[in-house]
Amino acid sequence: MNEQTARREIVRVGQLMYERSYVVSSDGNVSVRLDDGRVVATPTMTCKGRMTEDSCAVTDLEGKPLNDRKASSELAMHLLIYQERADVRAVCHAHPPHGTAFAVAGLAIDQPILSEVILTLGCVPLAEYGTPSTAELTEAMRPLVRHHNALLMANHGAVAYGADIWQAFDRLETLEHTAKIAILARILGGARDLPPDSIEKLIDVRERAGYLDERARCQACGYLHETRVVCPTGERDAATATRAVSNGGASNGKISLTREELIELLSQAARLGARV
Ligand SMILES: [Zn+2]
């Protein structure tokens, strides 16, 4: 993509994010990685609904300014994603209310409740809290970026990314829509999960259709563990163990523990029992 097109589409996506209440005030940021490796990003302290094409900042992949505009202070989050994912060309970060409610409640969006979401987005894990615009935040995100196309950031918001700016925006929109449906279903008495065999069929469909490839099987995502879907690299187990510890193991009322954690819990219970 050339720079002029990137500027035009960033302004358009910023307007959509603002109109759809994914951001207010000067929240959020959007960037595009150009073919030559430079990054065009939204400017700092600017409402995403009122940007102009010439207000965008341009940097290199280390964040060094290449024009006289100052990029968002959260550019580091975008650069981390570009470093970890050669296939990603655009990133959208926002604070959409329903998705952010999950992030504030300490929950991932990882229940298998919507077939379309399993096909096109996969699960959305929760990265531990890190102070915005610092390495704390990017280090919390780093282990999750490789196998997911959208993340929640605890007590902060959401980020989605893709092969172009519209795929990134669509993923952000799907994340927010899913969170909204999950919250509404809870009000109606609780969502009913799709069974493991239906999930396996959806994984098969999404890979044959090219919506998501085999790497998405490695997602640190609770419901894949109840299926026969195998992670080709074995990284899913490590990532899930990390998330289970950082989340306290609880997600949507379910608890997942590693073998070691279970043994420790049982021995604690035995010690307590011996004292009574
Ligand atoms: Zn933010």
- The Cα–Cα gap between 119 and 42 comes to 30
Distance of CA 212 from the midpoint of ligand 1 (Å):
26
Distance of CA 167 from the midpoint of ligand 1 (Å):
20
User: CB atoms < 10 A from the CB of 191, how many?
Assistant: 17
Is 72 or 266 the better-scoring residue by pLDDT?
Answer: 72
Distance of CA 110 from the midpoint of ligand 1 (Å):
21
> Looking at the predicted structure, is the pLDDT value of residue 253 above 80?
no
Q: Helix, strand or coil for residue 94?
A: strand
Segments in 121-158 forming alpha helices (H): 135-145
What's the distance, CA 13 to chain centroid? 18
User: CB atoms < 10 A from the CB of 264, how many?
Assistant: 12
Q: Please choose, from the candidates 126, 117, 220, the residue with its C-alpha nearest in 3D space to the C-alpha of residue 177.
A: 117
pLDDT in tens, 183-196: 999 999 999 999 99
Mean pLDDT of 141-153: 95
Mean pLDDT of 159-184: 98
Distance of CA 205 from the midpoint of ligand 1 (Å):
34
- The Cα–Cα gap between 223 and 256 comes to 11
Under 8 Å between Cβ of 26 and 50: no
Least confident span in 212-216, 250-254, 258-262:
250-254
Q: Please choose, from the candidates 144, 137, 117, the residue with its C-alpha nearest in 3D space to the C-alpha of residue 212.
A: 117
Distance of CA 200 from the midpoint of ligand 1 (Å):
34
Sheet holding 57-59, edge to edge: 57-59, 39-41, 29-33, 90-94, 157-162, 150-153, 126-127
pTM score: 0.84
- The Cα–Cα gap between 226 and 234 comes to 15
Mean pLDDT of 181-209: 95
Distance of CA 276 from the midpoint of ligand 1 (Å):
49
At 112 the pLDDT is 94
Distance of CA 132 from the midpoint of ligand 1 (Å):
7
Please give the single-letter amino acid code of residue 66.
L
- The Cα–Cα gap between 44 and 51 comes to 11
Confidence class of residue 133 from pLDDT cuts 50, 70 and 90? confident
Q: Which are the contacts of 83, defined by CB distance < 8 A and separation ≥ 6? A: 61
At 209 the pLDDT is 94
Confidence class of residue 16 from pLDDT cuts 50, 70 and 90? very high
Q: Please choose, from the candidates 170, 154, 163, the residue with its C-alpha nearest in 3D space to the C-alpha of residue 95.
A: 154
